A = this chain, B = another copy of it.
């Protein structure tokens, strides 16, 4: 099987069903006898599209964005490319307004498709633009960070930040296609890549014990970016996320909350560390360690879970502790967290590898203990 044979994972959302396609070389290698690339083939499936607007991260201008633009030109013809500066601050009202106005200037209409090429920042921003311009355009995610490939590009959460809070506004707006090509992260710095592995490991803990075991056996190859292993890890992660999203598209049943494993702690770490000092995945790694400690302290699971998780995160070269962790600063942040209902502390905690549950009314003392244990 050549590497270019893509893996296809459907996200089962009824009439909003869409495929996640995972491959390598899809922008350069032939997809069919007619000579088009696999990427062109994929975009051909979007239907009646007369215009593409590619929104891309400045960091991938000459790499992924250039490949995608070529593909769009071959398949759609009329293409406009709009650049977004790298970094979280681009998920702003200013950029949203700028992109909306640019869409008018390039005569976008309901037959235009928005194609996001970048990490979660560009995906979230461009997705929100797609959700709202003329009340909704078709949308393709082309993630270029590992985090975006395994997490943000799947599931339809889009949005921007407000000065007063991250991801405070947005829409649920499903893409029509998620086009993942591991080549698109060839230029991704190692620290960003490793950070994305925290979310990969998360899926193993929350709902796929077999995948967790696979990661234990193959983490070295994954860290070395061995193509087959990376693709398998991405595919299993997307499958996990797709399952959870199909169960609870709009976060109404509570099922989707399991994706927040480690995240209540992580958000408090990011907030108290000052946004930007730690990468999100690094905070998630430490947050998962705190959550695991908490689970064991509450008698929810065996101590061996901590051992296995610690070893795996360590093999992924992720941080396991945070010397500056301060319960007195973190707990008030957690009490304000969206996932914490009405002041009571609530956590997603594992009872074994491959299974988590939502635990409410957690005593503050135990939370303090879990944080202290990861200093």
Find out whether the CB atom of A172 lies under 8 angstroms from the CB atom of B109. Answer: no
Interface membership of A157, Cβ < 8 A: yes
Q: Known contacts A101-B164, A163-B101, A164-B104; decide if A171 and B134 are in contact (CB<8 Å).
A: no
Taken residue by residue from 161 to 172, chain A's Cβ proximity to chain B (1 for < 8 Å, 0 otherwise) reads as 011110011111
Which applies to chain A's interface (DSSP): helix, strand, loop or mixed? mixed
Interface membership of A140, Cβ < 8 A: no
Find out whether the CB atom of B134 lies under 8 angstroms from the CB atom of A100. Answer: no
Interface membership of A32, Cβ < 8 A: no
Find out whether the CB atom of A100 lies under 8 angstroms from the CB atom of B171. Answer: no
Tell me the bound Cα distance from A172 to B104 in angstroms: 20
Copies of this chain, complex-wide, total 2
Taken residue by residue from 158 to 195, chain A's Cβ proximity to chain B (1 for < 8 Å, 0 otherwise) reads as 01001111001111100000000000000000000000
Min CB distance A294 to B, Å, is 24
Tell me the bound Cα distance from A33 to B168 in angstroms: 41
Which of B131, B168, B172, B251 contacts A100 (CB under 8 A)?
Answer: B168
Contacting residues, chain B, for A165 (C-beta < 8 A):
104
Which of B97, B134, B338 contacts A134 (CB under 8 A)?
Answer: B338
Which residue, A135, A164, A168, A250, has most C-beta atoms of chain B within 10 A?
A: A135
Contacting residues, chain B, for A100 (C-beta < 8 A):
93, 162, 168-169
Tell me the bound Cα distance from A42 to B131 in angstroms: 31
Taken residue by residue from 14 to 49, chain A's Cβ proximity to chain B (1 for < 8 Å, 0 otherwise) reads as 000000000000000000000000000000000000
Tell me the bound Cα distance from A168 to B97 in angstroms: 11
Find out whether the CB atom of A171 lies under 8 angstroms from the CB atom of B171. Answer: yes
Tell me the bound Cα distance from A275 to B313 in angstroms: 61
Residue on B nearest A109 in the bound complex, by CB:
B338
Tell me the bound Cα distance from A262 to B352 in angstroms: 64
Interface membership of A322, Cβ < 8 A: no
Find out whether the CB atom of A171 lies under 8 angstroms from the CB atom of B105. Answer: no
Tell me the bound Cα distance from A172 to B234 in angstroms: 33
Tell me the bound Cα distance from A156 to B135 in angstroms: 11
Tell me the bound Cα distance from A154 to B131 in angstroms: 21
Find out whether the CB atom of B164 lies under 8 angstroms from the CB atom of A133. Answer: no
Contacting residues, chain B, for A133 (C-beta < 8 A):
168-169
Tell me the bound Cα distance from A163 to B102 in angstroms: 11
Interface membership of A227, Cβ < 8 A: no
Which of B105, B135, B136, B251 contacts A164 (CB under 8 A)?
Answer: B105
Tell me the bound Cα distance from A96 to B162 in angstroms: 12
Taken residue by residue from 91 to 135, chain A's Cβ proximity to chain B (1 for < 8 Å, 0 otherwise) reads as 001001100110011000110000000000000000000011111
Contacting residues, chain B, for A162 (C-beta < 8 A):
100-101, 104
Tell me the bound Cα distance from A109 to B135 in angstroms: 24
Min CB distance A133 to B, Å, is 6
Contacts A/B (CB < 8 Å), 14 sampled: A100-B162, A100-B169, A101-B162, A104-B162, A104-B168, A132-B159, A132-B169, A134-B168, A134-B169, A134-B338, A135-B159, A135-B172, A135-B250, A136-B250
